[in-house]
């Protein structure tokens, strides 16, 4: 409704817990079955009603850590099946948050998934660095503060790996001290200059003219 009034697009995002809520907490969630079913049902619902509002909708899924990969796999499978029938994926994009894993493992798993997702035009959002605070049952309130800030060299490593995937579409969520939740003034130290410095670093690496190559 807000998007229709504003005359613009909107992003609808599903979390793993949100998917389970849609399916019903009493539903069997073995191998994330309820989380998958609820997220898929929600995506189909949004597609059906979006036509009535006449606004573009991006269907996205939020943070997915390593232990939640069955949920991630289930949503991709749904998009693959939808793609076969309709020529486009059910979802628009998915976020894979493996920031708690070693960088090399994070990149390797993301690349593997991007190779699969690229075949059905799904965009991958990957995360570097840890987002502080708590969301969807994941609590990073006491994480080492150094992990809240991504370094340009790390983003470059990701860019090199993922940009090699044919038809691969991806974004990189670099941490600059951003957190989930509500905090008193002065308790959060945001450093958005990290994003500027990263773009500058990769521009120099690529030797390109664009000020925002990533």
> DSSP per residue over 87-153, as a string?
SS-SSSEEEE--TTS-HHHHHHHHHHHHHHHGGGT-EEEEEESPPBSEETTEE-TTS-GGGGB--HH
Whether the predicted pLDDT of 203 surpasses 60: yes
Q: Which is more confident, 176 or 17? A: 17
Q: Which is more confident, 151 or 86? A: 86
Average of per-residue pLDDT values in the chain: 89
For residues 164, 165, 168, 169, the Cα torsion angle rounded to the nearest 10 degrees is: -40
Q: Percentage of residues in the chain with pLDDT exceeding 90?
A: 74
pLDDT band at 36 (very low <50, low <70, confident <90, very high): very high
Q: How far is CA 193 from the centre of its chain?
A: 22
The pLDDT value recorded for residue 182 is 62
Q: In 10 A of CB 168, how many CB atoms?
A: 17
Gap between the Cα atoms of 145 and 132, Å rounded: 9
DSSP 164: T
The pLDDT value recorded for residue 7 is 86
Give which of 20, 21, 110, 118 is closest to 74, Cα–Cα.
20
Q: Is 137 left (phi over 0), alpha (psi -120 to 50) or beta?
A: left
pLDDT band at 115 (very low <50, low <70, confident <90, very high): very high
Residues 8-13 have a mean pLDDT of: 94
Residues 172-198 have a mean pLDDT of: 79
Three-class secondary structure of residue 175 per DSSP = coil
The pLDDT value recorded for residue 185 is 65
DSSP 163: T
pLDDT band at 97 (very low <50, low <70, confident <90, very high): very high
Strands 169-174 and 138-139: unpaired
Gap between the Cα atoms of 129 and 190, Å rounded: 13
The continuous run of DSSP H or E covering 72 comes out as helix 69-86
pLDDT band at 132 (very low <50, low <70, confident <90, very high): very low
Residues with catalytic function:
62
> What tokens were used for 11?
């992003």
Q: Which is more confident, 54 or 145? A: 54
Residues 76-102 have a mean pLDDT of: 97
């Amino acid at each position: 409704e807000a998007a229709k009034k504003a005359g613009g697009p909107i992003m609808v995002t599903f979390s793993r817990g949100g998917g389970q809520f849609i399916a019903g907490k009493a539903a069997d969630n073995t191998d994330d079955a309820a989380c998958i079913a609820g997220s898929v049902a929600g995506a189909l619902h949004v597609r059906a009603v979006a036509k009535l509002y006449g606004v573009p909708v991006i269907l996205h899924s939020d943070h997915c850590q390593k232990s939640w990969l069955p949920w991630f796999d289930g949503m991709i499978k749904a998009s693959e099946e939808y793609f076969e029938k309709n020529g486009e994926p059910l979802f628009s994009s998915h976020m894979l948050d493996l920031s708690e894993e070693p960088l090399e493992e994070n990149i390797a798993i993301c690349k593997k998934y991007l190779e699969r997702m690229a075949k059905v035009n799904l965009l991958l959002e990957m995360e570097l660095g840890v987002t502080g605070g708590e969301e969807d049952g994941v609590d990073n309130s006491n994480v080492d503060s150094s992990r809240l800030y991504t370094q340009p060299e790390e983003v470059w490593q990701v860019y090199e790996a993922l940009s090699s995937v044919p038809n691969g579409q991806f974004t990189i969520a670099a941490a600059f001290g951003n957190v989930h939740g509500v905090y008193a003034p002065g308790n959060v130290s945001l450093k958005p200059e990290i994003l500027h410095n990263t773009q500058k670093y990769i521009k120099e690496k690529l030797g390109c003219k664009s000020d925002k190559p990533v």
